[in-house]
Homo-oligomer: A and B are copies of this chain.
Amino acid sequence: MMKEIVVKNISIGDELLIGQVINTNAAWLGEQLSSAGFRLDSTLTIGDSEKAILDAFNACMDADLVLVTGGLGPTADDITKPTVCKFFDTELEFCQEAYDNVVSLFKRRGFQMSERNRGQAMLPKACQYVPNTYGTAPCMWLEKQGVVFVFMPGVPFEMKGIFNDELLPRIKERFHSVPYEKRVIMTTGIGESFLADKIKDWEDALPDFLSLAYLPQYGMVRLRLSGRHEDAELLHQTLDAEVEKLTRLISEYIFSMQDQPIERTVFDLLINKGMTFASAESCTGGNIAHVFTLIPGSSEVFKGTAVTYATPMKTKVLGVPAEDIEKYGVVSQQVVEGMAKGVRDLMESDFGVATTGVAGPSGGTEENPVGTVWIGVASPHGVVSQRFNFGKDRENVINRATIAAYEMLRQQIIINQAP
């Protein structure tokens, strides 16, 4: 068996150190490398200074592959490229291919080129030029004493494009990788620790080469089962078998075996059934509509929303009886069911989803403390509703109520047939 290689990442940029920009490149590279069968050993972030860059390069001479991001823009250029030349004992020279790329990019965008941009085609003599069709910064591949250094631009969109298109194929050809595979199981309606208790025996018995990660987020838990093994077929079959055992243990909490948000699962279900929905939102303030309308094509199944933040609008727009609001209060089963039925009628949809609650930080009462949310779903066969408490933080209450609303809607879609 060949040895695993050591991969390190260096991110260059003052803006990362003063907190102006969060380094998302490192996490993205880590995930891509994992999926491709490599393991990221460390990531180091440093500023735009020659000393810091040289120290960092020297500290990576025990690695096999060093992925460097940032420091190659038309302004930052001045430091990184000369430092690269110093480290690799080479000098800058004009690269026609890089120049042609810059020219064609400017032409495509209809902009004028400046002298600064011409400078972007000056590359270290010793480097292999890697095409960047996403921007003007060059991508470079250099070696020193058997260690491969790859230089990529720091703009995430450019870096990702070059890495996938050009670099990963070259890295795979050059280095030995260990086959990797993962499965994602999306659950809702059960907390992380209860879930862990329920599947403890199964988890403890997992073979060494598989590992399970709990990724909780706003009322749902993504389970990721992943592994690396030289025998890709064995890995695949073992994952199949273990996922089957797992789904038997927690079937009632699983809403998808695909790594996607719950509103996407609802979208797929509605498209398949040719049915539609609409929402009436009070405490979620339009978030149910917002997350759904981020999905391209959502207009096929989504009719609309009434955000009735002001109480009288619940009566005027949705037809909730004023007596119900008076008698039971705005945060009540009667009102949420009236809103769900009202918006279903108003928007002429198959399903109506409604929320009313106290998102906080103020507005809580003894009966309905901050975090209390009623959610209702009206369907062709009637209306269901449930009371929740989602805790204290306003944004958290809104997000968790949105996910719970989609989970209730999902259940009603599954139960109901088209009328």
Residues of A within 8 A of B (CB): 15-24, 26-32, 34, 39-47, 52, 56, 59, 213, 215, 224, 281, 284-290, 292-294, 296-299, 302-310, 312-313, 316-317, 346-348, 359-363, 394-395, 398
Contact = CB atoms under 8 A, between A and B. Distances in A.
A95 to B, nearest CB: 26
Contact of A18 (B31, B346, B360): B31
Contact of A304 (B40, B299, B313): B313
Given A293-B398, A297-B362, A34 B19 contact: yes
Given A43-B44, A293-B307, 13 more contacts: A17-B40, A18-B34, A20-B27, A20-B31, A21-B27, A22-B22, A22-B23, A41-B52, A59-B59, A285-B293, A303-B309, A306-B306, A313-B346
A296 B45 contact: no
Contacts of A394: 294, 296
B18 A40 contact: yes
A285 B296 contact: no
B23 A26 contact: yes
B313 A303 contact: yes
Contacts of A52: 41-42
Contact of A44 (B21, B29, B42): B42
A383 to B, nearest CB: 21
A308 B46 CA distance: 49
Given A17-B30, A32-B19, A213-B20, A292 B285 contact: yes
Could you tell me the dominant secondary structure of chain A's interface residues? mixed
A309 B290 CA distance: 11
A27 B32 contact: no
13 contacts: A16-B30, A17-B40, A23-B27, A42-B47, A44-B45, A286-B288, A298-B309, A304-B309, A304-B313, A306-B306, A306-B307, A310-B348, A312-B348
Contacts of A30: 16-19
Contact of A22 (B19, B24, B348): B24
Nearest to A295: B394
Contacts of A41: 17, 46-47, 52
Nearest to A285: B293
Given A23-B27, A27-B21, A286-B286, A305 B306 contact: yes
A297 B215 CA distance: 32
Contact of A289 (B34, B44, B56, B286): B286
Contacts of A297: 362
Contact of A287 (B290, B303, B359): B290
A413 to B, nearest CB: 18
B47 A45 contact: no
A289 B286 CA distance: 6
